[in-house]
Each structure stands twice: as structure tokens, then as C-alpha cells.
Amino acid sequence: MMDYPSKLIEEAVTEISRLPGIGRKTAFRLALHLLKQDPEFTHRLAGSLLNLRDNIKRCSTCHMLSDTEECTCMHFRKDPTTVCVVEDTPDVMAIQNTAQYNGYFHVLGGVISPLEGIGPGELNIETLISRIASPESQVKEVILALSATMEGDTTSFYIARKLKAYNVKITTLARGVPVGGELEYTDEITLGRSIVKRMTYETGE
């Protein structure tokens, strides 16, 4: 355990090192960096983090992170006939950056993972079904754009089964996305091609 010259520095290092991918040595360097900056910088940083924690919301329709609960999708000219189902907001940004998709999104908030105690009830699956089942729905295609992992495949299979009762085409990304790969970290060209060349999803029934 490193001996710190100040209890205040040690407390800051402990909290910063709780962030993913940051060890105590990196946290120590970051704490020292903050001390070298103008106090206004640190106050702005702390204020923005508090504002983020206290005021960020999820859209009540698509569940994307947003400043309001009103659906941000509705403010853009998007194709209302397609809904792309993703795990979380970073996946939305990754797909948008490909410039190959112009439909709506639906954020599940995770994937089915029994080992982590995450079942269908912990995800935003029922609201997806409600969107498709709504009399006002124009959705003709649901794209299952989940990571090519066992958990992602299990979730896709579950959703496809649930949607089978509705008159919608169910597709999935072409396997240009590597098996076991996280969608968020797939390069834009590969991800874009996977969307363009998406395939009909088969449940094996």
C-alpha cells in the first residue's frame, strides 16, 4: 500500500480508483493533475459530474440516456418502420456513427445473464413489445443489434420468440461483427456493413 503525504489525497485516490480501468497509481497521477489546475477547472468538473448524476434521465419510449424523458428520436426525421434493439446508449452512438441506419432505437439496458442475476424482467423488453403492439405503431422491422456473445444471442432469441406473434420482420446483424465481440468497440466500417447486410433472424422453429 502506497503511503500518501496527505489524507485528503488518499481519499481522492481511493474514490478515483473506483472508476473502471483506473488503478491507484493512475488515480494518484490524476489527483496531482487536478491539484495543478486552476481551482475553477476542478469545480467545473465536480459540478458537471454532480449535474450528470442528479439530472440525467432515460427516455420513457426508447430508454436512451437523455436530458428529458421525452423521446429524442421524435425530434429527428427518422424511418418509423424500423427499430434497432441495442444493449445500451454507447451502442446507439456506434450505430449512428456508421451513417448506415436512419430508424428508431430501443435500449434494453443490458442482456439476459443468469450468472449475474439479470433476467428478462430486469430489461426493457416489455416496453419494446408494447411499442410494436401499439395501434399507432408503423414498425415493420426489428433489428436485433446485440453483441455476438452467448448472453447477446440468448437475449436475441428470447426477444424473437416474444415478437413472433406480431407482423414484423426480425433481422440481426451480419456476422461481420466478430463472435464474442462487444458492439460498442466494433469499428464503424465493419458495423456499417453488418447493418446494411443484416439477415433475417431464425429462431430454429
In the chain, pLDDT over 70 holds for what percent of residues?
82
Distances (CA, A) of 32 to 6, 49, 70, 86, 91: 12, 19, 40, 38, 33
26: cell is 493512475
CA 12, 18, 22, 23 torsion-angle sign: positive
Kindly list the structural domains of the chain, giving each domain's residue range(s) and its CATH number in brackets, ordered by start: 7-55 (1.10.8.420), 65-200 (3.40.1360.10)
pTM (2 d.p.)? 0.76
Distance CA 129, CA 166 (A): 9
pLDDT tens digits, 15-73: 999 999 999 999 999 999 999 999 999 999 999 999 999 999 888 888 988 887 776 66
